[in-house]
Structure 1
């Protein structure tokens, strides 16, 4: 592996990507509103709230697992340990999945359908900008162990 692929991200892009996605959703709703039937709005509030709570639980669980394994949480730092326990048993990117669920949950709770659209776009951009680079970093650090992990665990869900 060359030195370029061994480096993790230079900047932690995913939080910025999802922040821009949420801001874009609100701007899109302001300038290009999508009508939503407002009957039984409490269903949307409860559903959106459940998405956000599930996302926060997933993020905290993932970060706690990383800390317990004595490796970094930040995507711009070198990993010292290949984490395959906790939520990492089910998805290779539980923190990014949490960001996506949060964005979608905010849209559902606030009846902003653009949040669903921008959550999908943010997930795609995160895959291109961050996940591919992080996976190259993990492959160069952990080799065959990371390949085995990838074969048994989905990237998102």
Structure 2
């Protein structure tokens, strides 16, 4: 005897990124600071006022880039968080120049953190942060957009670079 249950369609979780991507950058920064406390390395930057000014400028520029990306997504009413499906391919505003302004902004802000802390560990962890970002976040997002909007996303990728 066969029973036919009404299967519930699967919930579209978009790229299904299981964590907020900014945690990668906060984690890298925090681990770098902790490592520097345990095993200090030589400073990356000189102890000078201009270094602090560059650090703050990078943090401000990065945050501005990230916030612009978020506001652009919100103006088009599409998902900001990568655990929800995208409603469309946003290709205007800051997205006409970079496919990942939020991640670009976080990277620039992280580099500002390198200038502000002067800690070599923080800088050394950046490649690991970016590797995790690309493999665990960006590739999932790109796969989601390619499956959901194959032609529009392919055309967008031809016009706009991933970073700059």
- Quote the Cα distance in structure 2 between the aligned partners of 1:56 and 1:37: 22
Gapped regions of structure 2 (runs ≥ 5): 1-9
**Moved beyond 3 Å, runs of 4+:** 37-40
Greater share of helix: 1
What is the RMSD computed on CA atoms of the aligned residues?
Answer: 2.0
Which residue number in structure 1 is paired with residue 4 of structure 2?
Answer: none
Secondary structure, in 3 states, of the residue corresponding to 1:21? helix
Contact preservation (8 Å) 2:46, 2:118: no
Q: Which runs of 5+ in 1 are unaligned?
A: none
Give the C-alpha shift of residue 38 in structure 1: 6.9
Of residues 52, 59, 72 in structure 1, which corresponds to 2:79? 72
> What CA distance in whole angstroms lies between the structure 1 residues aligned with 2:130 and 2:58?
16
Alignment of 1:93-104 (within 5 A): 93-104=100-111
Contact 1:12 1:74 (8 Å CA) reproduced = no
2: CA distance, partners of 1:79 / 1:120: 28
Residues 70 and 38 of structure 1: is their aligned pair in 2 closer, same or farther, counting only changes over 3 Å?
Answer: closer
Normalising by structure 2, report the TM-score. Answer: 0.85
Larger Rg: 2
2:69–2:102 CA contact under 8 A, matched in 1: yes
Count of aligned residue pairs for this structure pair: 154
